[in-house]
Amino acid sequence: MTATGYPVSEVLRALRGGLNDDDPDVVPAVHVSVPYRFTSPREPPLLEVKYGRENNPTTMLFENAVRIAEGSKWCLAFNTGMAALHVALEVLRGAGARRVVASRLLYGTTRSLLDRLASSGLQVHYYGPPWGQLLQAVKELAPDAVLVETIGNPTLRVPPLRGLVEACGDDCTLIVDNTFASPYLYRPATLSRKILVVESATKYIGGHHDVLGGVLCGNDTGLHEAAWSTRKMTGTVMQPLDAFLAARGLKTLHLRVEYSSRSAEQIARRLEEEPLVERVYYPGLRSHPDSATAREVLPGLYGGVLSFDVGDSQVAKAMLKRLQLVVPSPSLGGVESVVAYPFESSHRSLSEEEKKELGITPGLLRLSVGLEDPGDVLRDILSALRSARA
């Protein structure tokens, strides 16, 4: 077990299906059958395998491994991370949730989903950062649910999760999108029974830019049953080949996240010294507004994503065209380094005023550092930046 509390050996054993020495397979087979033979009902519905829209042995194997990785009581796998989040919110609405307080600094599509649900009756309130504003809102508004990201997209803000757990109390569910951290850097489900963890398995868990998926994990048995039932009705279960690929990625999660985190910190420190860069956002830097919180929450590794501001949109766009190694592309957490332009992509739906308040400026670029040599990545960025400035 690593210092992060991530149980590497348990996860790897789970991904072998708990196989013993008499089993010939080191890597379990992919189950592609949709219907399964009827058997006597020995298992509860959540564990019974009879039809692919409900359960699949390959998907269930992956779910069990993620459950161990996250430190939760249960886990369900979905065909996308947004599907997992949508089901989480719908399940809470079905349980009587009417008011949600959410961080303003969320993935743009997450905010779009919340706004759409708000049009059908859900009360959604956005507060923070600053995090004191969010904590105060939770205490005063007494919401049914709170939604934050462990490391916020795209300026990598780190909320006080323990403080939010205390502020929520027993009558509020804290939903944590743990995608940027992954369970290797943080395991929110271990904080409280009233936490739901959502992750895009497309990112660090899958890790190779070749699979779509999402997971929803928690500790409340009632929410597990409701989420499974909703997934069954909506047909959003992760498919077996996707589950196989995501499980394969999970095997190397600890190696990839550690390498990309160390590389990202090295690149962030160098960019902070670069005169052509106006600002760098990375939780491992002392200049980051949540540096102290990040040092308390994260295990000395601060993730493989950093953002930096090159001043204006013309320079940012010109730089993207001049990159040779780093790929201008959305997403993150893969073996290839990719750079995104949040102002006109992931967060384009926010108002100009709010983007400015959150630091999402026309010159901001978000870099997901992959497994290349960090020196090569840095040289490519600086070369493209200097050429764009010229």
Is residue 53 flagged as an active site residue?
Answer: yes
* C-beta neighbour count of 214 within 10 angstroms: 28
CA distances (Å), 87 to each of 117, 175, 180, 214, 231, in order? 12, 12, 20, 11, 7
Task: Name the nearest CA neighbour of 69 among 199, 230, 225.
Answer: 199
Two tokens, residue 298:
């994260």
- Given the residues 187, 203, 231, 366, the one annotated as active site: 203
State how far the Cα of 109 lies from the Cα of 148, in Å rounded to an integer. 14
- Given the residues 13, 16, 50, 53, the one annotated as active site: 53
- Given the residues 144, 177, 220, 242, the one annotated as active site: 177
CA distances (Å), 22 to each of 19, 25, 139, in order? 8, 9, 56
Is residue 144 flagged as an active site residue?
Answer: no
State how far the Cα of 106 lies from the Cα of 119, in Å rounded to an integer. 19
Q: At what angle do helices 313-322 and 374-389 cross, to 10 degrees?
A: 130
Amino acid at 341: Y
- Output DSSP code: residue 281: E
Whether omega for the bond prior to residue 240 falls within 30 degrees of 0, making it cis, is no
- Given the residues 6, 107, 126, 282, the one annotated as active site: 107
Residue 238 phi/psi, 5-degree rounding, is -65, 135
Is residue 193 flagged as an active site residue?
Answer: no
Give the active site residues: 53, 107, 177, 203
